[in-house]
Structure 1
Amino acid sequence: MKDRLAGILPFLNWFPMTRDSLRGDLIAGITVALVLVPQSMAYAQLAGLPVVYGLYASFVPVIVASLWGSSSQLHTGPVAMLSLMSAAALIPFASPGSPHFIELSVMLALMVGVLRLALGLFRMGVIVNFLSSPVIVGFTNAAALIIGLSQLSKILGVPFPRTDFYLRDLWNVFAQIPETHWATLAFALGAWAVIHFGRRLSPSFPGVLAAVVLATVASAWWGFEQKRTVALERVEAPEFGAAVQRYAQQEERIQAFTDRLSQLNSQLRKETGMVGAEGQASRSALEAEVSRLNRELAALKSANNALRIRLHEFQLSPSEAGGDTVFRTVGSGTEGGSWRFAGVEAGEVTLSAGGAVVGEIPQGLPAPSMPSLQWDLIPALLPAAFVMALIGFMEATSISKAIAARTGERIDTSKELVGQGLANIAGSFFGSYTVSGSFSRSAVASRTGATTGLFAIISALGVVLVLLYLTPYLYHLPQAVLAVIVMTAVFGLIRVKPLVQAWKVERPSAVIGLLTFVATLYMAPDLANGILLGVVLTILWYLVRTMRPRTEIVARQPDGTLGGIEAHQLEPLSQHFVPVRFDGSLTFVNVAYFEDMLLEALADYPDARAILVIGSGINEIDATGEETIRELAKRLQDRGVQLTFSSLKQQVRQVFERSGLTELIGPDNFFTDKESALKNLRTTYA
């Protein structure tokens, strides 16, 4: 009875608990919470969301995944890769950080959760087998580089334009290196030093937490932020003011274009079922308008990003004029610290003389609410949601199996899919974006003695305490420190050795892995296209190998075994019979290739009176294969050539017998092993 209930409620396997297990889970939960809080805020920014949404994603999904998951030491929550994929999927439809963008992030989490839950309930986890190891490594390496380098602008303290071409955006960041904000860079280097050297001193040292605490205290004491919002007319720099106004106008146009695109896409999907010439003309007109708007929107975003970078280079200084503070270009009026453009809204421009900090974080827990379902965008987001569901499942499964290899725990991948799916679904009702299993936090839990999923619930309660009481103390946390946390986490995912090993084993697979790496980089920020290309190439290569299995004429090697004549430069056994080894099933996919190879063998040995097919590698035969062999046997008999088989497996031999092929070819032309077949052929056709 308990086993049956545990199948539905996996957390029942935690009981009975002991004092030692409770102590281990308590220590592990507290330790993981200290890592989870700063990581979740950093990953939320990576997802284009305010940092508080990382905290929202770190309590309800964590609790649900621990209760219904299969692994007792897997920690679920925000992760770097899915955070970036979430942002990339939504940027075409909304501006990062906007209310619309937040709604779409929550809806995407719900979509990913439903897909994972469906895959788990129907036990479809095997679909992840389409992701070969080289493809996964190539994609992960590219994604880690994209994620890590996307944080470079925060470390340098310069703008990072987001368009539909990541490499161009990254180049713009490198072009701004002379504009580096040195105080921001100093905070980043200091955080890296604390994390790196703390880890070298002791693996259990909470380097991330120490970096966050020290940086927050230093930022508050120094007044690192230095941000002011003033009316645009108080900035007496005509060129700067004109550029700001142009920037604000273009921001409004971008929003209008985005809204219009959403409406057109919705209208286009509604008219999909229209038939006839009028319906086709209407759809064509809508498609042309969508294409035109997409091109104009891309050009507008690029122009505005370039203008933002130019605005960032302006240096202003506060001066007193008639008792009021105004800002003028550096060098005129009263000299002071230089101020730069940070944003504009409703006629007020935000200027900054310091670095970017996290800022105000809403205090308290989010009220449960139904996610906003925007039905017109669901079809457009479905491909990205499906890829995110698979990538997240792959991450969670690989982490669980790595932990299980040490603990001996049995992992049920379908149950893990159900747990991850329920976590995303439940989290979407509490403002969470897409979550998955975290390698770094799961490793911390395993290392600090976690024995059941209770440790994850304890870590989630730690996040609840932060949301209720500690968010005001995080205001001055420099964003550069969060960027360092992301970079240190993702750069550890880069692995080159598996691709080198794949090159030694099977070069085409290694090439596919490299192409996946290059394509993911080039197509960024749309990471889904990179891995989809890798999957397509993997399937195509599998089909090529299946359609053209290894087929070779064999002869005796010096040690007496059989080997390929061409591969080993051997002398043929006879001119009167040809032994051919075929390593593939006889199905519609490759039976034509099988026929061609046998006919080529006869062309090479025109005096041959028999062909022996060594069929130990033939696992199955379908109707097309049976028909082709029947016709081939008749054609060969008409030419005075006998077709013979050896070493056929039982299931293949049964098909031959049921179909009448055995009678057609002759029972005496079937041999149990290749040696007896060769002996008979040598006697008969000497």
Structure 2
Amino acid sequence: MKHLFLPFLAWFKQVNGDTLKADLFAGLTGAVIVLPQGVAFAAIAGLPPEYGLYTAMITPIIAGLFGSSLHLISGPTTAISLVVFSTISRYADAGSPQFIQLVLTLTFLAGVYQLALGLMKMGKVVNFVSHTVVIGFTAGAAILIATSQTKHVLGIKIPQGESFLHTWLDIALGFPQINPYILSVASFTILSALVMKHYLPKMPHLLFGMVMGSLASIALGGEYHGIKYVGEIPGHLPPFSLPELSFETLKQLASGAFAVALLGLIEAVSIARSIATKTHQRLDSNQEFIGQGLSNVIGSFFSSYAGSGSFTRSGVNFSSGAKTPMSAIFAAIFLALIVILVAPLAAYLPVAAMGGVILLVAYNLIDTHHIKHILESSKSETSILATTFFATLFLELEFAIYMGVILSLVIFLMRTSLPNISTMAPDPNEPRHKMAEVADIGLKECPQLKIIRIDMSIYFGSLNKVQTELAMISEQQGIKHILIIGESINFIDLAGAEMLIQEAKRLKAIGGGLYIQGVKNKVFDFMDRIDFLADFGDGNVFSSKEAAIHSLTLRLNHSICSNCRLRIFRECRQLPGAAA
């Protein structure tokens, strides 16, 4: 129980001199990487640059201490930043005090949602949401982010709040007005970062690109040619802040906050799981929900906006040799020291260079490998990808997230509503006449008794498929006795139980019966609780196939058996006409 509220006690026992050394190096690497990212992400969120850095200091510490993953690094992310901006920009001007206040409230409320879901043990809900939702949303967000930065890298004036299509129309119309100095600084920033990444992939290429862009602006005399600068960043630790917690404001932001919470949880758990497959760590999704929720709730009181798990920083953290969440704590500490020392230098950072860096970030968000794999391998996942992607481009961002999640759940329910139903028969080549699928090896079947195996579950969603199959067997094939092998049935709900009782009574009325064999203990316990056996028939439920076949062969029409030459059951030898 103590590990639920103080989960760091579990991994803190692993900390020693070797792990501290590894985590220290990984933390330093992470701090250098997040410095330019934090500034860039804050710009995407419509916040002053220091808020991205504050988020990168507070969020990873809380999430690391109260989460479950040993390698997940939380903080500002591109997708979350874009949703934050989209949600709050309709109520206040970007960067204004009111905008910042509403962002903190949104962060607090998103954290409350996440924390509540974690405490209610809803972590497994993420299992039912396809990761394709994140891939599609992130790809769409990347294009929106790139679109939003075109005015900064081209020097074209574009009205605030333009839609995706209108922005590109304005770009096309304003193409002759491109400022060559601004474009040169942005291009040089991108080129410098790409060269650094190619030749020195382990070095902080984004930071290098920013520095080179600043030098290019100085060399070109940027201030005389319309080049704007980010401005000096306050060189201090995250100050205390207070979200606006009035009922009216909370009501206003409730929907957007839930979208932020949902996207943040899907991101964080997906990243944590992808790393856990390499480290063989067992994750606790509920604990991860709690960690993400606390990081946002506490962060909102320390000038941090909504964060989540970072694909880039978590991957770098793992590849850098991190052993425990101490690496996240070290990264936050190093970042604080760096900010105090170098914050004044942001006064020389051109907005064009920042735009170039954000374009690179946006490009790296598009997971072309997985998108290609999805398009080639699954039509249902392709539909989720396309729906989320286009909804992100043309609809409200939180609605795009909801659409992707809902479609993902609908497809999951559709799959479970069509359980696999296989026809079974004894295999005469097996010593104990073990049951096998008829279609696999062309087994012969009893003309009076149909044996089927139902995979997955019998619940309200799958009733139609199961009931249709039972009706087809009795009406089209003329078989009145049906035995269901229940070893693969995960659960039966009340509607499923009522349907089975109804079918049992229908078959009994025409001189046959419905029988079940080998259900799991939890399924049998449920049947017992609802007095299923009383209506279904206690003698119609069997614990073994041998007992079922022995009992059911005695209930068949023996006049038909006497003329039957198939004799697929061993029990058929004792029936009339066996010697014929």
Question: TM-score, normalised to structure 2's length?
Answer: 0.82
1:538 matched to 2:389: no
Distance in 2 (CA, whole Å) between partners of 1:651 and 1:374 is 47
Task: Please show how residues 298-317 of structure 1 align to structure 2 within 5 Å.
Answer: none
**Superposition deviation, residue 584 in structure 1:** 4.8
**2:471 corresponding residue in structure 1:** 599
Distance 1:483 1:594, change over 3 A: same
1:373 matched to 2:245: yes
Q: Which amino acid aligns with 1:544?
A: M
Q: Which amino acid aligns with 1:518?
A: F
**Superposition deviation, residue 166 in structure 1:** 2.6
Cα pair 1:85 1:528 within 8 Å, conserved: yes
**Superposition deviation, residue 20 in structure 1:** 4.5
Bigger mean CA offset, 39-48 vs 656-665: 656-665
**Superposition deviation, residue 80 in structure 1:** 0.9
Q: In the alignment, which of 289, 295, 301 is matched to residue 429 of structure 1?
A: 301
Q: Which amino acid aligns with 1:473?
A: L
Q: Give secondary structure in 1 for the equivalent of 2:100.
A: helix
Cα pair 1:643 1:665 within 8 Å, conserved: no
1:213 matched to 2:83: no
Q: Deviations over 1:606-637 (max 9, x none)?
A: 4x443444444434334444443334333333
Q: In the alignment, which of 399, 413, 418 is matched to residue 529 of structure 1?
A: 399
User: What is the CA RMSD across the aligned residues, in angstroms?
Assistant: 3.8
Q: Which amino acid aligns with 1:630?
A: I
Higher relative contact order (CA 8 A, sep 6+): 1
Q: Give secondary structure in 1 for the equivalent of 2:507.
A: helix
Distance in 2 (CA, whole Å) between partners of 1:666 and 1:38 is 69
Cα pair 1:611 1:644 within 8 Å, conserved: yes
**Superposition deviation, residue 588 in structure 1:** 4.0
Cα pair 1:512 1:537 within 8 Å, conserved: yes
Q: In the alignment, which of 264, 269, 274 is matched to residue 392 of structure 1?
A: 264
**Superposition deviation, residue 481 in structure 1:** 2.1
Cα pair 1:120 1:415 within 8 Å, conserved: yes
- Unmatched 5+ stretches in structure 1: 227-352
1:124 matched to 2:122: yes
Q: In the alignment, which of 280, 296, 320 is matched to residue 448 of structure 1?
A: 320
Distance in 2 (CA, whole Å) between partners of 1:164 and 1:136 is 24
**Superposition deviation, residue 676 in structure 1:** 7.2
**2:570 corresponding residue in structure 1:** none
Bigger mean CA offset, 658-667 vs 193-202: 658-667
Distance 1:521 1:639, change over 3 A: same
Distance in 2 (CA, whole Å) between partners of 1:624 and 1:362 is 62
Distance 1:202 1:11, change over 3 A: farther
Distance in 1 (CA, whole Å) between partners of 2:175 and 2:291 is 45
Cα pair 2:142 2:363 within 8 Å, conserved: yes
Q: Give secondary structure in 2 for the equivalent of 1:355.
A: coil
Q: Give secondary structure in 2 for the equivalent of 1:143.
A: helix
Distance in 2 (CA, whole Å) between partners of 1:130 and 1:84 is 24
Q: Deviations over 1:195-253 (max 9, x none)?
A: 22212212222222222222223323433133xxxxxxxxxxxxxxxxxxxxxxxxxxx
Distance 1:182 1:420, change over 3 A: same
**Superposition deviation, residue 8 in structure 1:** 1.6
Q: In the alignment, which of 354, 357, 371 is matched to residue 226 of structure 2?
A: 354
Q: In the alignment, which of 459, 463, 479 is matched to residue 351 of structure 2?
A: 479
Distance 1:623 1:63, change over 3 A: closer
Task: Please show how residues 85-100 of structure 1 align to structure 2 within 5 Å.
Answer: 85-100=83-98
**2:187 corresponding residue in structure 1:** 189
Distance in 2 (CA, whole Å) between partners of 1:558 and 1:162 is 76
Q: Which amino acid aligns with 2:534?
A: G
Q: Deviations over 1:290-322 (max 9, x none)?
A: xxxxxxxxxxxxxxxxxxxxxxxxxxxxxxxxx
Distance in 2 (CA, whole Å) between partners of 1:132 and 1:41 is 30
Distance in 2 (CA, whole Å) between partners of 1:12 and 1:614 is 43
Q: Give secondary structure in 2 for the equivalent of 1:57.
A: helix
Task: Please show how residues 268-417 of structure 1 align to structure 2 within 5 Å.
Answer: 353-365=225-237, 367-407=239-279, 409-417=281-289
**1:659 corresponding residue in structure 2:** 533
**Superposition deviation, residue 46 in structure 1:** 0.2
1:178 matched to 2:48: no
**Superposition deviation, residue 536 in structure 1:** 1.7
Distance in 1 (CA, whole Å) between partners of 2:541 and 2:318 is 62
Distance in 1 (CA, whole Å) between partners of 2:418 and 2:281 is 41
Cα pair 1:647 1:674 within 8 Å, conserved: no
Task: Please show how residues 53-68 of structure 1 align to structure 2 within 5 Å.
Answer: 53-68=51-66
1:106 matched to 2:88: no
Distance 1:582 1:76, change over 3 A: closer
Cα pair 1:554 1:572 within 8 Å, conserved: no
Distance in 2 (CA, whole Å) between partners of 1:205 and 1:432 is 27
Distance in 2 (CA, whole Å) between partners of 1:675 and 1:510 is 45
Q: Which amino acid aligns with 2:510?
A: R
Cα pair 2:460 2:495 within 8 Å, conserved: yes
Bigger mean CA offset, 489-498 vs 649-658: 649-658
**Superposition deviation, residue 494 in structure 1:** 2.1
Q: Deviations over 1:480-525 (max 9, x none)?
A: 22223223234223234445545666533432332222222221xx
Distance in 2 (CA, whole Å) between partners of 1:456 and 1:668 is 56
**2:575 corresponding residue in structure 1:** none
Distance in 1 (CA, whole Å) between partners of 2:544 and 2:315 is 57
**1:628 corresponding residue in structure 2:** 499
Distance 1:673 1:453, change over 3 A: same
1:29 matched to 2:27: yes
**1:39 corresponding residue in structure 2:** 37
Distance 1:478 1:68, change over 3 A: same
Bigger mean CA offset, 24-33 vs 544-553: 544-553
Question: TM-score, normalised to structure 1's length?
Answer: 0.70
Cα pair 1:515 1:534 within 8 Å, conserved: yes
Distance 1:564 1:493, change over 3 A: farther
Cα pair 2:5 2:66 within 8 Å, conserved: no
Q: Give secondary structure in 2 for the equivalent of 1:585.
A: strand
